[in-house]
Amino acid sequence: MRHADQSREPDELPALLERVSPDLARVLYRFRIPAQDSDDLLQELVVQFLENRRRVESPEAWLVGTFKFRCALYWRRRRRNLVEAIDGAILDELAGGSPARQEHDDLSRDLSRAIDELSERCRSFIRLRYGLGYENPEVAERLGYSKTGIRKISSRCLDALTDEILSIEPAMEAFENA
């Protein structure tokens, strides 16, 4: 059995990258990758190509296809980091992170505003998670979901809550103070 890549010229890489450059640009555009991160993503792609070259049948298709995968993964990971940060911050707060009573009340009120915008299912999930401090298995038991089901619901509801928090408009008094 032979591996896919049999006929490689030693100076093939620059010419190959030159050829696929317009397609890579289109992927960057389509996935709306910020300029400051595109360099790193491209470099990781090229290193990955060099490591896997033996297995690659069509280098152009592999580079463009893999770049699409990596760009999708880039957003998925960024999104996950953000959702986890917001979830962690809420749990810290509810565990008594904010010393001042007034601040704590403000935060709870603002958080309730965001939660009120969610679906009934997510509101129930969030109330058990943040209101009663339940972990996922306990929420699953209480709401009658399976182990895998609760993972999906947890991820969807935390996603939705993050979206709500990011779309909060400032209250009028904030403008007046500013």
Partner 1 sequence: MLEANRDIACTLEGDVLSRFERGEAPPSERSRVLTHLLSGCGSCSDRLRPAASVRKFADPAPSIHRILSRVAEIELRLDAENATADELWRDFQKHPSPRQWTLLNNSARFNSLAFAERLLEAGLDAIYDDPHRALELNQMALVVAVRLDAHQYGRGAAEDLRGRIWARIANSHRASSNLPAADSALATAAELLQAGSGEPLAEAELWYFTASIRRAQRRLDEAMVAIRRSRRIYRLLRDQHLEGRSLLNQAMIHEIQGDLDSAVVCTRKALAQIDPKRDPKLCFAARHAFVWNLMCAGAAEEAQRELDALKPTYLENGDRMVILRMHWLEGRIRRLRGDRATAEASLRQALDGFISAEIPYEAATVALDLSVLFAESGRTHELKPLAAELVEVFQRLGVAREACAALLMFEAAARAEAVTLGFLSQLNDYLGRVRSQPGLVFSPKD
Three-state DSSP class for 54? Answer: helix
Name the residue nearer to partner 1 (CB basis): 62 or 145.
Answer: 62
Structure tokens at 59: 């280098």
| Rounded (10°) CA dihedral 8, 11, 12, 14 | 160
- Taking the alpha carbons of 131, 135, 138, 144 in that order, is the dihedral positive or negative? positive
Footprint of partner 1 on residues 97-116 (CB under 8 A)? 97-98, 103, 106-107, 110-111, 114
Decide if residue 88 touches partner 1 (CB under 8 A): yes
Name the residue nearer to partner 1 (CB basis): 84 or 141.
Answer: 84
Q: How far apart are the first and last CA of the chain?
A: 71
Residues 125 and 143: beta-carbon distance below 8 Å:
yes
Cα 82 off chain centre by: 7
Footprint of partner 1 on residues 3-42 (CB under 8 A)? 3-4, 13-14, 17-18, 21, 24-25, 28-29, 32-35, 38-39, 42
Decide if residue 142 touches partner 1 (CB under 8 A): no
Q: Output the smallest distance, CB 142 to partner 1, in A.
A: 26
Pick the binder of partner 1 from 7, 50, 101, 144 (CB under 8 A). Answer: 50
Region near partner 1 per CB under 8 A, out of 83-91, 124-132, 136-144, 151-159: 83-91
Decide if residue 143 touches partner 1 (CB under 8 A): no
Compute and round to an integer the Cα radius of gyration of the chain: 23
